[in-house]
Amino acid sequence: MPQIEISGLYKTFKVARRSAGLKQAAKSLFCRKYDKVEALKDVSFTVDTGEIVGYIGPNGAGKSTTIKTMSGILVPDRGQCVIMGRIPWKERIDHVRSIGVVFGQRTQLWWDVPVIDSYELLRDIYRIPNRDYSNNLDLLISTLELQNIINTPVRQLSLGQRMRCELAASLLHNPKILFLDEPTIGLDAESKIAIRQFIKTINREKNVTVILTTHDMSDIEALANRILLIGRGRILYDGNLDDLRSRFSNQKTININFRGNGFPIDNTIVGIPGVNIVSCSQEKLILRVDGNGSALADVISRLSNIVDIVDVSIESQPIDELILKLYREYAV
Amino acid sequence: MKLYFKYMSILLKAQMQYRFSFWLLSFGQLFLPLSVFAGVYFLFERFGNIKGWNFFEVALCFGVINMAFSITECFVRGFDLFSNLVVSGDFDRILLRPRSTFIQVLGSQFEFTRVGRLLQSIMVLVWAATNLSIKWTLFKVITLILMVISGIFIFTGIFILAATLCFWTIQGLEVANIFTYGGKEMAQYPLSIYKKWIARFFTFIIPFGCVNYLPLMYILDKAHQNEYLYMLTPLMGIVFIVPCLVIWEIGVKRYRSTGS
The answer to whether B10 contacts A89, with C-beta atoms less than 8 Å apart, is no
Residue from A12, A30, A95, A113 whose CB has the most chain B CBs within 10 Å, to mutate = A113
Q: Which of B15, B95, B259 is the closest to A13 by Cβ?
A: B259
Residue of A nearest to B95 (CA): A73
Measured in angstroms, the CA of A114 and the nearest CA of chain B are apart by 9
pLDDT at A30: 66
C-alpha closest to that of A144 among A121, A115, A103, A176: A115
The residue ranking higher by pLDDT, B45 or A262, is B45
Rounded mean pLDDT, A303-318: 79
Measured in angstroms, the CA of A235 and the nearest CA of chain B are apart by 21
Half-sphere exposure of A303 (CA within 13 A, CB side): 28
Q: Answer whether B6's CB lies under 8 Å from A113's CB.
A: no
User: Is A37 an interface residue toward B (CB < 8 Å)?
Assistant: no
pLDDT at A74: 92
Domain residue spans in chain B? 2-8+16-258
Residue A111 near chain B (CB below 8 Å)? yes
Summarised one tens digit per residue, pLDDT across range A27-65 is 666 666 778 888 899 999 999 999 999 998 888 888 889
Tell whether A28 is within 8 A of chain B (Cβ).
no
Does A102 have pLDDT greater than 90? Answer: yes
pLDDT band with cut points at 50, 70 and 90 for residue B200: confident
Q: Which residues of B touch A36 (CB under 8 A)?
A: none
Helices B55-75 and B115-131 meet at what angle, rounded to 10? Answer: 160
Is B95 within 8 Å of chain A by CB? yes
* pLDDT greater than 60 at residue A26: yes
ipTM above 0.90, yes or no: no
Q: What share of chain A is helix, strand, coil (3-state, %, to 5)?
A: 40, 30, 30
Q: Best residue in B95, B96, B254 to probe A by mutation, most A CBs within 10 Å? A: B96
Give the closest residue to B37 by CA, choosing from B61, B73, B68. B61
Distance CA B180, CA B158 (A): 6
| Residue A222, phi then psi, degrees to nearest 5 | -75, -30
Q: Which residues of B touch A101 (CB under 8 A)?
A: 96
Sheet containing strand A78-83, strands side by side: A34-47, A4-16, A78-83
pLDDT confidence bin for A20, thresholds 50/70/90: low
Q: Which residue of B has its CA nearest to A118?
A: B10
Q: How many contacts (CB atoms, under 8 Å) link A and B?
A: 69
**pLDDT band for position A168 (50/70/90)?**
very high
* Helical axes A130-144 vs A189-206, angle rounded to 10°: 140
B112 CB-side CA count, 13 A: 18
Q: Kindly report the nearest CA distance between residue B240 and chain A, in angstroms.
A: 27
3-state DSSP helix/strand/coil % of chain B, to nearest 5: 80, 0, 20
A92 with B95: Cβ contact below 8 A: yes
Q: How far apart are CA B201 and CA B205, in angstroms?
A: 5
Among chain B residues, CA nearest to A93:
B98
Of A71, A73, A113, the CB nearest to B14: A113
Contacts of B2 in chain A (CB under 8 A): 124
Question: Strand A226-231's sheet: what is its strand order?
Answer: A99-103, A177-181, A209-213, A52-56, A226-231, A234-239
Q: What single DSSP character describes residue B202?
A: I
- Res A5 pLDDT > 90: yes
Closest Cα in chain A to B92:
A73
Q: Is A93 on the interface with B (CB under 8 A)?
A: yes
How close B94 gets to chain A, by Cα (Å)? 9
Contact yes or no for A71 and B96 at CB 8 A:
yes
pLDDT of residue A24: 67
pLDDT computed for residue B160 by the predictor: 94
Quickly state the pLDDT bin for A330 (edges 50, 70, 90).
confident
Residue window 150-179, chain B: list those with CB within 8 Å of chain A: none
- pLDDT tops 70 at residue A268: no
* B88 contacts in chain A (CB < 8 Å): 106
Do B90 and A106 count as a contact with CB atoms less than 8 A apart?
Answer: yes
Residue ranges of the alpha helices (H) in A145-188?
159-171
**Measured distance CA(B142)–CA(B235) in Å, rounded:** 12
Concatenating the DSSP letter of every residue in B24-82 gives HHHHHHHHHHHHHHHHHHHHHHHHSEETTEEHHHHHHHHHHHHHHHHHHHHHSHHHHTH
- Asked if A143 reaches chain B (Cβ–Cβ under 8 Å), the answer is no
**DSSP label at residue A283:** S
Per the model's pLDDT, the better-predicted residue between A75 and B171 turns out to be: A75
Chain B residues whose CB is inside 8 A of the A13 CB are 258-260
Write out chain A residues lying below 8 Å of B15, CB-based.
112
Interface test with B, best of A14, A37, A75 (most B CBs within 10 A): A75
Q: Which top CATH class is A250-316? A: alpha beta
From the options 3.40.1390.10, 1.10.150.20, 3.40.50.300, 3.40.50.2300, give the CATH code of A4-246. Answer: 3.40.50.300
pLDDT in tens, B220-252: 888 777 777 888 888 888 899 999 999 999 999
Q: Would the CB atoms of A96 and B97 count as touching at under 8 Å?
A: yes
- A264 pLDDT exceeds 70? no
Q: For the residues B152-172, what does the mean pLDDT come to?
A: 87
Q: Is A86 on the interface with B (CB under 8 A)?
A: no
Give long-range contacts, CB 8 A cutoff, 24+ apart: A221-227.
A221/A319, A222/A196, A223/A52, A223/A54, A223/A196, A223/A199, A224/A52, A224/A53, A224/A54, A225/A51, A225/A52, A226/A51, A226/A52, A226/A53, A226/A54, A227/A53, A227/A54, A227/A55, A227/A56
Q: How many CB atoms lie within 10 A of CB A321?
A: 12
- C-beta separation of B220 from B135 below 8 A: no
Inform me whether the C-beta atom of residue B185 falls under 8 Å from chain A C-beta atoms: no
pLDDT class of A218 with cuts at 50, 70, 90: confident
Give yes or no for a contact between B184 and B69, defined as CB atoms under 8 angstroms apart: yes
Give the amino acid at B213. Answer: Y
Q: What is the pLDDT of residues A136-160, one digit of tens each?
A: 999 999 999 999 999 999 999 999 9
